Structures are given as structure tokens and as C-alpha cells.
Structure 1
Amino acid sequence: MSLPSPFPWIRTRFGWLAGLPALGLVGVATAYLAVPSIEDQIARAAAEVARGTGDGQPEPWLRVSVQGRDVVAAGEAPHAPDREAALGRLAGIQGARRLIDRTGLIEEASPFVWTVERPAIDRLESAGSRPAEIGAFELAQRLKPALPRAATLEDRTRAARGAPPDFPDAAAYAVERLGDLTTGSVATVNDTVISFRGEAASLAAYDAVRTALAHPPEGFSLGSVEILPPVVADLRLTVERRPDGSLELGGHVASPEAREAIRAAAAETADGGAVDDRMQDARGARLDGPTLAAHLLKIAALLHEGRVAYEQGRVSVSGKALDDGAVGEIEALLREGLPSGIEAGTIALTARPIVPYILRIRRGAEAVALSGHLPDRATREILLNRAQIRLFRESVQDRSRLAPGAPAGFAAAVATGLDALMTLASGEVTLTGTSLRLSGTSLYPEAAARLPRTLSAAMPAGWTATVSVSSGEPVVRLDPQECGRRLAERVAGHPLRFAPGSTALAADFYPVLDAVAALARDCPSERIEIVGHLDAPNAKPAEADPVAAEAARESAPKPKPASPRKDAKPAQGDKKDDKKGGKTEKVEAKPPQADKPDIAPSETGTDLARARALAVIDYLQKAGVPLDRASIAEGAVPLTERQGIGLALRS
């Protein structure tokens, strides 16, 4: 049995308080369920307002979002009334607490700049201006195929007028290039100029970017391109030598400057052969590429065919060396002189048999270069001396090697080919086995036409000669006054004086006479008249030193008498002195004979001066001056030893 409450009045007066918690729960539940409904209503109303701004536009310009009961408006209105109308409708949405206005008006952008950046591997962000004529959604759809795989584009641009034609093509081109670049890379479209800054993700990506940059969209050009090559942990550098003398460069190069230095060194090593540059730009550990490449190229120059490679810190060589001596030279280069920190690797070489025996001599504007093989030092010295006395400004670059196996008559064939080459403005003579080939450019058509005949006739027994010589550039015709002035410049300060009693040309004659022969080409209406000189009073002829005479014969050009053309007049001197037995004597100098000394003690006075003039005429004719364009001056008195040989032009 329950006991009666001692305070029945409390239950009667305060019993209603027991229902307050339940009432509170009902209120909270009602509020929780009611707020989302209000936010949804606000969002639906705001979206309706935004859709209404699409009339007459590519798509609605107004973008809205609801944050609680706050309405956030963004976008660029085409006109101020459109903007005010849209904001007014948003402000009137029932239940909205606050309107946050982030809208603007479409304006003219000049310059029109749009940028896209790759802040993360899976995200791109665009900023700046986008064309008002193209909606944000449509532009995003057009850029979507160009996005890197699994990456999204966050659009932070503002609509503006003034975009260049075909802007979407340029934007897609920029976005696609960022797919080959690492994070932090940026592309910018500034009117019609596209620029890039960043770092390639890999060697393949770097090559792809370089290829694509060569073909920007039509109507656009490239501006600043600052794309760094990728970082490579194991740098390589290779030089491959081909049998034709050409080189292939491979591996990695750190900068454009290093590439140019390596290519220049390779071109010198190739000595006229092709250089195939297949090096890839890359960054990595500190490595002096040009210095290392120079060492690799030294080794490659000793190969007929093969490969020199720097890989994993070592230099290795394989292939066929030029000869037995080259094998030892390569081994020495690997033992000594490698750059610091680089070790010698494997050597797999065989010596190439020297068959056929080859020598090349090339004459250019600045130098005469020798490459190939010579039988001994004596032949080399004679050949170099023979070339040097005929050169004025050009240097002689000797890259030849000594090795046995030269065919019979080799020395004589080399001397004959070199003499012919020295008459050309530029060219090359190549001896392969017992065949000689001469090619190049002559200053005179007459000399170019004469060389095939004279060179073949001068070859040693068993040798053949092939000539491919053109007559060079068209003749520049100068007036007589200018011709005379230029002749005076060429001979001024360079008197041509024969040794006492001698008719042999001295070494310092050749540059002057070559210049006179070149001038005659530009003065086709002028004849060159030569006056010999006498010896000084009481001058004693030099004693014929057998060694000196032999050296002079080796170094002096040996002209071959050319068959006179039917339409060419022989060069003549004083008609009174030339007539013997009613016949005219041809003024054609005789080449110095091996069995006769260069000293002519029997000739004195006028006869000696005349013989000297004939020696000069002979040289000019061999240098290409036509037979009827160089002669002894008629009736001229011989000059003194101090005056030297006289040269003049006559119309």
C-alpha cells in the first residue's frame, strides 16, 4: 500500500515542468527539419534567377551559390542594367538573409591575357580573362581533351572582350603542353603570343615539347620559352665514328652553349664530314661536357669506325682504329689526361688494314688541311714545304698519319696533285690507291678546261687522274684605271728579286703572282706585261748547293706545257729579238729540270733579264692566266736589281 505524499501541493502546482524536455526536443527537431527546406528554397530561387541571365548569351552569365541563408552572386554581366536586375531579383528571394555581391561587368581587355598553371599533378588553374563570346562551361568542355590524364581544371577567369580569333585553339595548345611539364609550370596567352615557363617531366616529354613548340597554332607565335630540361641521374656522352668520316653525337648536354661548343669541336674532328647531333638536353651532376667531349673526339679521330662512350663514370672505346699506331695512342689517351673523376673503361679495338691507301688535301679560304696517310717523315716534310711556299695567308693543318703501304709513285703523284690544287681558289685532291681525284673552283675557265689534260699527262706510270673543276663565279669586269690601281696595291712593298745569276722563283714570289693572276681575271681586257731585271754590279752568282737545289726543285711548281689552242695567240716579247730564221719564238717558260741546276751562270745581262721574265710568265700561265694575256714588254729596257721584276697592265 502506497503512502500518501507529504507534499501533495507540489505535484499539483509544478507537474507541468515534467513535459518541458519533450517539448524542447520537438522544437529542435522542427527547426532542424525546417532549415534545410528554407535553404533549398533559396537555392532553387537563386538558380532560377541565374538561368534567366542566359537569354541572348552563350550561357547564363550569373553564377550563384548558397551558404546557409546567404546568397553569393558571381559572374560578369554584359551590361549594367542586366547586373542590377539580377541582383535585385536575388535580393528579393524570400528567406534569404544576406546577398554577397561578387559580380562585375564585361569590359574590354587590352592586352587580353589568359594564364593556366599546374599547381599540382592532378589540377590546373586558369586565371585572367576569357572570351565573353564563349561561356565558361563551353570553354571548359573544349579544353577537357587537352588536360593531362586524371587532372581537372579550376576556372578562375573573368569574361572580357578583346580575345584574339581562335582563342580556344591557343588555350588548348597551352594546356596540352603543360601535360609534359612538372608542377609549378605556367603557360600564358597574351593576345596572339604564347609563352611557357617550367621544367620538362622527362627526356621524352622534353623532346615532345620542343617538337610541339615548333608548330604553334595558326595565327599565334611563341614568346618567352623558359623550359628547363629534366634532371637525369646518369649522364651519358657518346661519339660514333662512321667509315665515311662523319660523326654521330649522342647522350646528354646541359645547355645550348655546351651544345654549340661540342658541335664546333666535332666539326673540326670530322674535317668536312657530316656531324649528326642526337644529343638530348638534360641536367644532372656537375660535368664539364665540352671538356669531356673534346677528349672523346680526340679518341674518335683515331678511329676509322667505332664508338667512344662516357657511361657510368667511365670512358670506353670499341671499333676499328686507323692503323696499328692508333691503337697505342688511344690506350695512352685513356691512361692519361682523362678529366678528373672519370675512369678508363673497356677497350675493344682492332687495327684497320690500310687498303686502299688514302690521302686527302683540302684547300679552303683560311687553311690547307691534310688527312689520311703518308709513308714516312721525309715525304711529309717535302709535302708540307711544297704547300707552305705557295701560301700567303692560309695556314697548313696537318692531320696526316705515318704508315707503310703506299703504292709506287705515291710521292710524285702527291706532288703533282698538290701543285694542281694550289692553282685553284678552293678544292680538294684525294689519292685513293693509284687513283687521284681533283675537284674545286678555278679563277679562270681556261685553267679549268686545261687541268684534265695536263694533270693526266703528269701522273706517274700506273696512276689515273679524274678532274672536276668549275670556273667559279662570274667575272667582275673592272675599268682599266681601277685595274691599274689594284695592281699597284698588290705589288707595292713586295719587289720580286731573283738571286744573282738565277731564274728560279723564290718562295715569296708566289703570293704576289697569285694575287696578280686573280686580278687578271677581273680585268679581262688588260694584258700583263713583264720586264725582267739585271743583277747588281759585280754580283757573284750563288754557288749551286746540291741540297738547296734539290729542295728548290721539290718546292717549286712544275708546270706542264699546255697544248696551244688554235684560236689562241702565243705570248710574245720583243719581235726583233724573237725572230730567228723568219720564225716567231713562243714565250713559254720551260719548267726547271731535275738534272739542271737553278743557277744559270751562262746567262747575263739582257738574256738573264729575259729568262727571268719568261719564268714569271710561265707561273702566271700555270695559275690560269690565258696564254695571250701575259707577255714580255716589247722594247722595254731591263730593270735594275733594286727595282726587281716589273709588272704592268696594257689595254
Structure 2
Amino acid sequence: MIRDLLKWVVPGLVTVLAGSTLSLAMTSPDIERDVIGQTSATAARAGFDWAELSFAMRDVTLSGTTTDQAYVDAAVQRIAMIPGVRSVKTNVTLAPLASPYRLEASIDGGTVSLAGGVPDETTRQLLLNRAKIEQGALELRSGMPERQLWVAGAQFAIDQLRFFDEGGARISDLKVDISGRAKSARDFRDLLIALRAGAPAGVTLGEVEITPALVSPYQWSAISDGRRIEVSGFVPDENLVERYRSAETGGKSVATGLALASGEPSGFAEVSQKLI
């Protein structure tokens, strides 16, 4: 009788178990997709904008940076209640709030510096690598705007340093301000082209104050043949070129072949216009 039981029941049991295992394997991707969808939607509805979620089947890992353990506990409790979630692990950094959320990138004498807030060690290293430096005054802070946008804006700010011999770029929340002196006439031109292309989508380009490259000696000349005045050399800005062209010259036209550069002597604009 036992032989008959083994002959008929055991093969059937193996078949049932195999079928059940196959059924679970076939449905596990659907379960994972459902857990990811429900968890992400719950975090968004609950206002856990600081939370970063990763998934391993039905297990959820909660990371990111926030200011209070109570926020972490609330997020864990909310996520754990979602049907299908098996476990919730935490790897959250508690850091002071920064508002606005700032990063400053600067260069002076060829030395690049970074200072400000970062949400985690991964972002700190990402920005240091972008600036090609090993250390920076970067402190963990919570309150970062939408992560992808802010990081793109910070990288954009750092990238502009390559055009300067001194100056900097700052991101405050999602606005980038840029100021400094270009390394060369070509860098000045290339920087203007980069700025015309604009900041990354979702990031605003704020105040921009760019000084042309420094030259020495600062040369300038104006020559007249009785009918036309030809002006050549350097000027600090385009507005002065327009002032030359509209100057009172007794009917003589003004032709300009000028390059933008800094390093002009004191009173240069007034004296040069008076000479024309």
C-alpha cells in the first residue's frame, strides 16, 4: 500500500510544487512592479520629497537626507503598510536644513574651490570629481530642491570655471549666478556662447557679470584721413564702442576694429571718447 502511495501521490505532489514555484516565479516581476509603483506614489502623496527609494523585489530601502528622525519614522511606517512590501530598511542621513540650498564654485590663480551644501556623500564626490579637486568645504545639508535639477545646475556652475582666471558661479536653489574675468579672448567668446545656450532645463540663469580677459599693455589708437576716423586696439565693453560711433566728429564716420579686454587705465572711457 505504501508503495502504491509513493507511486501515485509523490509524483503528483512534485508536479503541484513545481507548478506553484513556476507560478510564483512568473508573477514575481508583477509583484515587484506593483510594490515600486505603490511605494513611489505613496511617498509622493505623503510629501516625502527628501526620500530616495530602491527596491529588491518586495524589500524597500529608504535613503536620502532629512532633518528629523520623526520624518524617517513616519516614512517607514507609511511604506511598511503598503500591500506587498515585505521589509523596509533605512539608510537616511540626518542633516541641518539649508534654505536656500547653495553651492559656490570659484577659481583664483588656477585653484578651484567648492563650498556649500550637499545631500549625501555620493553627491559630494560627484561634484568634487566634476571640479577635478580632491577636497572641498561641502557639508551635508537637507532641503535640496528636486535632486536631478539641482545636481544638473551645480554641474553647470562648476563647468563655467574653465573659462575664468578668477571668478565663480553659484547655485542658489535652482538659480545660477555667474561672475568673473575670462582667461583669454577665446574663453570670453566661448563663455558667451555657452551662456546663450542657457542653463539646464529647470534651472534659471540669474545675474551674469563677465569681464573680458586682462591685457597689458592696454593699447588703443585713433587715426583720421580727413574723411574717416579709424579706431583700433582694446575697449572694456561694447557700450563704449557705440559711444565712439555716435561721437561728434564734424561729419567724419567712425570705423572700429576693437577687441574687448580688461586692464584699461583709470578714466580710459572719457579720455578716449574726448580724443575721437
Shorter-chain TM-score: what band?
0.5 to 0.7
* Aligned-partner Cα distance in 2 for 1:180–1:269: 39
The aligned counterpart of 1:197 is 179
Contact 2:66-2:95 within 8 A present in 1 as well: yes
The aligned counterpart of 2:100 is 111
Contact 1:118-1:125 within 8 A present in 2 as well: no
Q: CA, structure 1 residues 136+119, in 2 after alignment: closer, same or farther (shift >3 Å)?
A: farther
RMSD between aligned alpha carbons? 4.1
The aligned counterpart of 1:223 is 206
* Aligned-partner Cα distance in 1 for 2:190–2:230: 21
Deviations 1:298-354 (A, max 9, x none): xxxxxxxxxxxxxxxxxxxxxxxxxxxxxxxxxxxxxxxxxxxxxxxxxxxxxxxxx
Give 1:249 shift: 5.7
Give 1:175 shift: 1.0
Higher helix residue share: 2
Matched, 1:262 2:208: no
The aligned counterpart of 2:151 is 168
Give 1:293 shift: 5.4
SS class of match (1:199)? strand
Amino acid at match of 2:63: Q
Deviations 1:131-180 (A, max 9, x none): x4xx43245336634x3xx6445151323234255222211221122222
Q: How many residues align?
A: 193
Give 1:201 shift: 3.0
Contact 2:67-2:142 within 8 A present in 1 as well: no
SS class of match (2:247)? helix
Q: CA, structure 1 residues 125+112, in 2 after alignment: closer, same or farther (shift >3 Å)?
A: closer
Give 1:239 shift: 6.4
Deviations 1:270-300 (A, max 9, x none): 38xxx6765313223346345435646xxxx
Matched, 1:279 2:264: no
* Aligned-partner Cα distance in 2 for 1:186–1:143: 15
Matched, 1:124 2:126: no
State which of 207, 216, 220 in structure 1 corresponds to 2:189.
207
Give 1:120 shift: 5.9
Deviations 1:234-273 (A, max 9, x none): 22335699xxx999864211345533322323997438xx
The aligned counterpart of 1:137 is 122
The aligned counterpart of 1:415 is none
Q: CA, structure 1 residues 295+151, in 2 after alignment: closer, same or farther (shift >3 Å)?
A: same
Point out which structure has higher relative CO (alpha carbons under 8 A, 6+ apart): 2
Give 1:186 shift: 3.0
Contact 2:110-2:165 within 8 A present in 1 as well: yes
Amino acid at match of 2:121: A
Contact 1:187-1:197 within 8 A present in 2 as well: yes
Structure 1: which 5+ residue stretches go unaligned? 1-54, 59-75, 85-102, 297-651
Q: CA, structure 1 residues 238+168, in 2 after alignment: closer, same or farther (shift >3 Å)?
A: farther
Within-5 A mapping of 1:305-454:
none
Give 1:104 shift: 7.5
Q: CA, structure 1 residues 82+287, in 2 after alignment: closer, same or farther (shift >3 Å)?
A: closer
* Aligned-partner Cα distance in 1 for 2:93–2:228: 65
Deviations 1:541-584 (A, max 9, x none): xxxxxxxxxxxxxxxxxxxxxxxxxxxxxxxxxxxxxxxxxxxx
Contact 2:174-2:204 within 8 A present in 1 as well: yes
Contact 1:143-1:171 within 8 A present in 2 as well: no
- Percent identical: 15
The aligned counterpart of 2:139 is 157
Q: CA, structure 1 residues 204+126, in 2 after alignment: closer, same or farther (shift >3 Å)?
A: same
Contact 1:122-1:152 within 8 A present in 2 as well: no
* Aligned-partner Cα distance in 1 for 2:112–2:243: 40
SS class of match (1:252)? strand
* Aligned-partner Cα distance in 2 for 1:107–1:151: 25
Deviations 1:389-421 (A, max 9, x none): xxxxxxxxxxxxxxxxxxxxxxxxxxxxxxxxx
Q: CA, structure 1 residues 234+266, in 2 after alignment: closer, same or farther (shift >3 Å)?
A: farther
Q: CA, structure 1 residues 220+105, in 2 after alignment: closer, same or farther (shift >3 Å)?
A: same
Give 1:83 shift: 9.3
* Aligned-partner Cα distance in 2 for 1:106–1:154: 18
* Aligned-partner Cα distance in 2 for 1:203–1:266: 30
* Aligned-partner Cα distance in 2 for 1:83–1:293: 66
* Aligned-partner Cα distance in 1 for 2:114–2:127: 15
Q: CA, structure 1 residues 121+277, in 2 after alignment: closer, same or farther (shift >3 Å)?
A: same
Contact 1:193-1:221 within 8 A present in 2 as well: yes
Contact 2:215-2:263 within 8 A present in 1 as well: yes
